[in-house]
Amino acid sequence: MHFAAFMGYIEAANALIQDDADVNAVDKLERTALHIAAGEGHVEFAKVLIENRADVNAVQKRKWTALHYAARNGHVDVTKVLIENDADVNAETTGKRTALHKAAHNGHADVAKVLLENGADVNAVQKYKYTALHIAAEKGHVDVVKVLIENGAEVNAVDNEKETALHIAAEEGHVDVAKVLIENGGYDLGGIYRNGTPPYFYIQPAS
């Protein structure tokens, strides 16, 4: 079933199910076929599994759900199907990462928007107190930054290093992200910074 899920072979899945295959069987990483289908973006395959009682919130070894896989890889349609079938939008991995963190990391603004429209906690913190905004700022994903702010992200939230998203965007040289943050209340230009350099050393707000 896992191979069929990887390839998106729906006929094979139906045949296996007719032969009483366990749709919730796990591989050595404790992933179900739904984890695999979600990660590969096979939405119709995912529907077949769910219709046959696949556990939408099953977790693998690091507590990733199928939604984490879909969000990480930018599969909007799979994300929607999982949510429609009661996927927990705020489920956390062992590193306390939610699907929103995964979408933010890889720049999937459309997935982030779907998650937020369905109750994702925009200010959820992962390990080291990074929010999705910290992650998007670090990676330079300005579209994700905008979506997060539009949905109530705390612009001046600080991580374990006392850094805001603005500090991180400045350090990474993401001027476009820094400008968006400043325009939306990112004000801590002289705050604590781990290497002693304030953000204004790197960027300046537009005149």
205 has a pLDDT exceeding 50: no
Q: Looking at the domain 1-88, which fold is it?
A: 1.25.40
Q: CA geometry: angle at 38 spanning 153 and 119, to 5°? A: 30
Q: Record the tokens describing residue 18, joined without a space.
A: 């007719």
Closest residue by Cα to residue 2 from 65, 45, 44: 45
CA distances from 181 to 123, 142, 161, 176 (A): 15, 10, 19, 9
Mean pLDDT, residues 113-124 taken together:
98
pLDDT at 207: 37
pLDDT in tens, 15-74: 999 999 999 999 999 999 999 999 999 999 999 999 999 999 999 999 999 999 999 999
Between 137 and 205, the more confident residue is: 137
206, pLDDT greater than 50:
no
Domain boundaries, the chain: 1-88, 95-207
**Average pLDDT for 79-108:** 98
pLDDT surpasses 90 at 186: no
What CATH number is given for 95-207 in this structure?
1.25.40.20
pLDDT at 188 over 60: no
Evaluate whether 1-88 and 95-207 have a shared fold.
yes
What average pLDDT does range 127-137 have in this prediction?
95
Tens of pLDDT, residues 160-176 = 988 999 999 999 999 99
Looking at residues 185-193, what average pLDDT do you find? 62
C-alpha distances out from residue 141 to 111, 137, 169, 192, 195, Å? 13, 6, 10, 24, 24
For the cut 60, the answer to whether the pLDDT of residue 196 exceeds it is no
**194: pLDDT strictly greater than 80:** no
What number is the average pLDDT over the span 148-163?
A: 94
In this predicted structure, the answer to whether residue 120 has a pLDDT above a threshold of 60 is: yes
